Chain A
């Protein structure tokens, strides 16, 4: 049992967990035809059936039941603040499974040349009263009852009086911001706290203009929108929900990482051995001191950024994303590719951190400019 717990502790470290998730993510949610075939061949799409659902839920449940027997796990999961996140976990999984189950059925029908399920619905006329309002009302009553029961079971988590000189350890943002807070580990506060949130909002506003695929409109389908859904799910599940869950359950005192069965020891130390790209190039590869000239020093950083944001889109337009480029045209392709590269920048930076201990690509603390 201890070995199992230890194994889970080790595996759930962001490094391993994140890598593993990325490795399987695009097979579970294939964005391209080739991966779709792999997915089919591995029969992963069977997950989106009733049996698959039972499998997913029972494994999730078994994990939690197993976990609750552990004191540390119980303490962190049972904290009144964190209970909603447990709910979020189950709800997210449920709705994911539910929608994909419908999508799968429609995909099968479409493959057989039939119309999707929803086509039948369109013929049926449903009255607002009682069919909609009544069930909404019933739901409302159930929700009210649930909230009352919840408030009786879990008392408001009031802490000590706020003290400007003593910050709680760990200091955590509200749960919905924990994804952003997790980004702070990898990026300069300006980028993680200001630029990225802005880009996320702007990017979401752009979606209707970038994605003009009319398929899947009004009905569930994965196959017909696989790239869009796969990208969306990657950002939603991996870069948002996963980071929130990590931030809630696995980040402890001093923002150190703790496995789900680990005691939150405030004295735990983690080595901070990160270096900037300039230091990596000059001091570790070239074995010489950093140049005094800021531009010269950060040349490599700027170069790599130029390659990433300047050259890479061009190359992609000619190669892998040739079809996309042709479909979108110059302007829309530029916006799409910049947004995509910025978002991919986050996991990329995480990997750079884990593999090369890269702190910043460009680090000019003289001007508070760090990327």
Chain B
């Protein structure tokens, strides 16, 4: 040691400092361990364990009480006691035998061991022997002798063993017989208490009070720091999903969801009432359960919900609050803050259904995702896809009417008012408002807006092509055009207009849902008298495709008289105040300003002045009109001459849900910087982000205002949030079979043409039914209850099972050119302008939906004579089933009232599948619950159901005979021939699966 005086520093001081430093470091290390060890999720797991113990204990107690309360169990218990006493008393005499058995067993074990050793030696000797023979060794005989000796020994030993075993079995039998009664009773008791035993075992595992001592010690030790690497109680639970990856830009990595580390009861139905994070998933039938469509092990959580699956605490899992209050609460409770580096935050609860879309984007309706479905429907109806490209709606037609022949339909004055404020004419129109919005509400913009509308109207009318309206036929003397509004009203309410249209003069407070939207397929038919002429309506009703070749409005095949009546009724309603509104005069100064603005983009100032000077006012208007239509994108929804090749004006929305929030311009609007807030704000007021910005008129935001209600906005935002980039691997997507594709394609067409306005398809639709009931009351004099009871008979049919029921070839022809099947129905299946693709897709759709072979179907050639024919005829007759009393047979109408009528047998041969007819006769309620077709063969006692005197009472033969007889009816009658199908429109065989 150096001398103290040679030291520069005081060593004691340094020692003290060293001690302080070491203790500080130690403290820091302990702190580090503690910090690393003390995880939020462990607290949740501990709480969950308490909950689990409590639940198991309650269940165990309940189960024990339940078992003990049973009389059977009590008798069993007493029986068991007696049996035990008996056993003690009777079987004690066998104690000596037991001793013998025990001795014998020892002997047996020793023998067995010797046997096994000798056997091993024998196997080795066998090999030596074979080796010696094979290689021709000199000592073969010696080896052979050894082998044979061992073989002999083995034989001896085996003999001893077998003999011993026999003695043992015999002695054991004596003892077992004595105890057999007791054993049986014990087994019975075990049956009773199986459930409670399971619970008790579980309790012993988790509840420290029930554990044995070693387990208790283990339970304490296994979660200690460092030791906890082995098998801790509290550990991170995770699901690794190889097929559902996360995009980290350079590569795809498997998703790892650790949500179940805290959400421990999520897949367990017993935790329905537990608080978060332990509560059960609200829909286990669809999600998480092993037999559901989305098992937890295959789908995890974040693929639907978003968020950071690898996060194991509240904040790093990137939860998203669903409201401002919840945000505040979380901030206080969990120190929640947004982790904006995570690109897919959890979907807030109101938008959770957005997660469905990424896999089910081809479906028209996603079962169970009502809000998302409503959002998609609203996007379709409002025509968002026309301006904003959305992949799902790539081939959809333009949502607005054709404006090519606008001048034939309405007046400039009406068009002016309509563009200015469409909702003032029709409160629930889909046409949005472009003018007088939040960024154009200043005085100058208002004045400019008026002149812009003039310009647009001028362009539209100047480009309108001539269109000759059919003259309404004249009758009488002096000749008057046909048309009786009273009759028209009845026609409109009966033929089926109300499947797609309404007549609702005043806005109602009811929320729009998918069912009500079916009746907003076409416009609300109010104020038509102010909008157009009776001739135009007549022409439109007679042949909608002449005016607008791509219209979805079908042809109802109205006669001249019917069309004239309906037209007369429809134009009766006038919106007088709308037309009386004065149209502001054209102000050339403003028009000049507008024209100048557009001209300046392609010309120099002097050229602009020169050009402006020589343009007449009309031309200026028309020129600006064209530019304005391009600016506002009117052509995206409407066919307008001159805009055939223009591209849509809006941002593409196909992957909008994946867009980072910082790529959206929030301008100077103080809202939360999240996608959903931005979308909602945009839909609420599309021009709001222009607030306090200085922009030239043509730079301003131009998205029109649809005046959506709050819940509609939420639904649309849900859909947009669902339009995401990441598509999961095909292995977890719904199976892409040809049948699946047919169903998806068919659903899209059904959606476009609003088939569900009339029909119930896949359990949805039939929107016209309340209107049919109303018609029954108003025109058929039925009471409300009667009407409601009869409404199904007078409404277009429910198409459940249509693929099983009708032949593909017939369906194809029928859809192309419908014929009357149910003459008592006033609603008509209209003639649509389906093209060959539509027809094929629909036919395949119905086949695929019912899992029917397509296009092949078995054909039956019924014999019109013979015993079976006669028997069938008998069954058909009034003596037995009296089929003719309800069913139409060709021209012959049944005797009863129309509400009891049933479809024409003359069509059966061409229309129905023979197998289906059999099933239908056998049990109509199974195919169409609630049908009025009587059940002749009671399914409860089928073998005794049919009449005994026909075909020896064999029900199956009876049904076949009746079916064949019915089919002959069509052969006898000349069934209406379906019209020739459009060229190249024969049904095609399904594409071979890939």
The answer to whether the Cβ of B106 comes within 8 Å of any Cβ in the partner chain is no
Whether A130 pairs with B249 at a CB distance below 8 angstroms is no
In the complex, what distance in Å separates the CA atom of A152 from the CA atom of B25? Answer: 13
In the complex, what distance in Å separates the CA atom of A164 from the CA atom of B22? Answer: 46
Q: Which of B7, B9, B35, B250 contacts A152 (CB 8 A)?
A: B35
Number of residues of chain A lying within 8 A (CB) of chain B: 28
Whether B22 pairs with A141 at a CB distance below 8 angstroms is yes
On whether A148 and B32 interact (CB within 8 A), knowing A159-B341, A160-B342, the answer reads yes
Say how far B322's CB is from chain A's closest CB, in angstroms. 24
Task: Give residues of chain A (265-296) contacting chain B, Cβ–Cβ below 8 Å.
Answer: 266-267
Task: Give residues of chain B (783-801) contacting chain A, Cβ–Cβ below 8 Å.
Answer: none
The answer to whether the Cβ of B2 comes within 8 Å of any Cβ in the partner chain is yes
Which 6 residue pairs are nearest across A and B when measured between Cβ atoms? Answer: A161-B248, A141-B21, A148-B28, A160-B341, A145-B28, A131-B8
**B624-667 Cβ-contact flags toward A at 8 Å (1 or 0):** 00000000000000000000000000000000000010100100
CB-nearest residue of chain A relative to B248?
A161
By a CB distance below 8 angstroms, the chain A residues around B341 are 158-160
**A136-170 Cβ-contact flags toward B at 8 Å (1 or 0):** 01100110110011011000001111111010000
Q: Which of A130, A161, A163 contacts B11 (CB 8 A)?
A: A130
The answer to whether the Cβ of A263 comes within 8 Å of any Cβ in the partner chain is no
Task: Give residues of chain B (342-388) contacting chain A, Cβ–Cβ below 8 Å.
Answer: 342-343
The answer to whether the Cβ of B29 comes within 8 Å of any Cβ in the partner chain is yes
Say how far A73's CB is from chain B's closest CB, in angstroms. 18
Whether A138 pairs with B8 at a CB distance below 8 angstroms is no
The answer to whether the Cβ of A120 comes within 8 Å of any Cβ in the partner chain is no
By a CB distance below 8 angstroms, the chain B residues around A205 are none
Whether B6 pairs with A125 at a CB distance below 8 angstroms is yes
Whether B7 pairs with A131 at a CB distance below 8 angstroms is yes
By a CB distance below 8 angstroms, the chain B residues around A135 are 9, 14
On whether A127 and B21 interact (CB within 8 A), knowing A148-B32, A158-B341, A159-B341, the answer reads no
Say how far A171's CB is from chain B's closest CB, in angstroms. 14
By a CB distance below 8 angstroms, the chain B residues around A134 are 9, 14, 18
Say how far A162's CB is from chain B's closest CB, in angstroms. 6
Name A's B-contacting residues (CB within 8 A): 124-127, 130-131, 134-135, 137-138, 141-142, 144-145, 148-149, 151-152, 158-164, 166, 266-267
Whether A145 pairs with B21 at a CB distance below 8 angstroms is yes
A-B contact count (CB 8 A): 67
The answer to whether the Cβ of B24 comes within 8 Å of any Cβ in the partner chain is yes
**B1-29 Cβ-contact flags toward A at 8 Å (1 or 0):** 01000111101001001100110110111
Say how far A253's CB is from chain B's closest CB, in angstroms. 10
By a CB distance below 8 angstroms, the chain A residues around B249 are 161-164
Say how far A174's CB is from chain B's closest CB, in angstroms. 19
Whether A131 pairs with B9 at a CB distance below 8 angstroms is yes
By a CB distance below 8 angstroms, the chain A residues around B14 are 130, 134-135, 138
Say how far B635's CB is from chain A's closest CB, in angstroms. 32
In the complex, what distance in Å separates the CA atom of A125 from the CA atom of B2? Answer: 12
Number of residues of chain B lying within 8 A (CB) of chain A: 29
In the complex, what distance in Å separates the CA atom of A149 from the CA atom of B665? Answer: 41
CB-nearest residue of chain A relative to B34?
A152
Q: Which of B6, B9, B24, B35 contacts A141 (CB 8 A)?
A: B24
In the complex, what distance in Å separates the CA atom of A163 from the CA atom of B249? Answer: 6
Whether B21 pairs with A152 at a CB distance below 8 angstroms is no
In the complex, what distance in Å separates the CA atom of A130 from the CA atom of B11? Answer: 8
Q: Which of A124, A144, A166 contacts B25 (CB 8 A)?
A: A144
16 A–B pairs (Cβ distance < 8 Å), ordered by A: A127-B8, A131-B7, A131-B8, A138-B14, A141-B18, A141-B25, A142-B21, A142-B24, A142-B25, A145-B24, A148-B25, A148-B31, A149-B28, A158-B341, A160-B342, A267-B665
Say how far A268's CB is from chain B's closest CB, in angstroms. 12
A-B contact sample (10 more), CB < 8 A, given A134-B14, A141-B22:
A130-B11, A130-B14, A135-B9, A138-B17, A138-B21, A151-B32, A159-B341, A161-B248, A162-B249, A162-B250
In the complex, what distance in Å separates the CA atom of A127 from the CA atom of B247? Answer: 60
In the complex, what distance in Å separates the CA atom of A283 from the CA atom of B7? Answer: 75
By a CB distance below 8 angstroms, the chain A residues around B29 are 148
Say how far B678's CB is from chain A's closest CB, in angstroms. 14
By a CB distance below 8 angstroms, the chain B residues around A266 are 662
Q: Which of A138, A152, A267 contacts B32 (CB 8 A)?
A: A152
Whether B343 pairs with A160 at a CB distance below 8 angstroms is yes
In the complex, what distance in Å separates the CA atom of A141 from the CA atom of B21? Answer: 6
Whether A126 pairs with B8 at a CB distance below 8 angstroms is yes
By a CB distance below 8 angstroms, the chain A residues around B660 are 166
Whether A127 pairs with B18 at a CB distance below 8 angstroms is no
Say how far A128's CB is from chain B's closest CB, in angstroms. 11
CB-nearest residue of chain A relative to B662?
A266
In the complex, what distance in Å separates the CA atom of A135 from the CA atom of B10? Answer: 11
Say how far A184's CB is from chain B's closest CB, in angstroms. 24
By a CB distance below 8 angstroms, the chain A residues around B32 are 148, 151-152
Whether B18 pairs with A145 at a CB distance below 8 angstroms is no
By a CB distance below 8 angstroms, the chain B residues around A162 are 248-250
In the complex, what distance in Å separates the CA atom of A131 from the CA atom of B665? Answer: 63
Task: Give residues of chain B (25-55) contacting chain A, Cβ–Cβ below 8 Å.
Answer: 25, 27-29, 31-32, 35
By a CB distance below 8 angstroms, the chain B residues around A130 are 7, 9, 11, 14
In the complex, what distance in Å separates the CA atom of A127 from the CA atom of B18? Answer: 18
CB-nearest residue of chain A relative to B343?
A160
In the complex, what distance in Å separates the CA atom of A124 from the CA atom of B17? Answer: 24
By a CB distance below 8 angstroms, the chain A residues around B9 are 130-131, 134-135
In the complex, what distance in Å separates the CA atom of A145 from the CA atom of B30? Answer: 11
In the complex, what distance in Å separates the CA atom of A221 from the CA atom of B7? Answer: 28
Whether A124 pairs with B8 at a CB distance below 8 angstroms is yes
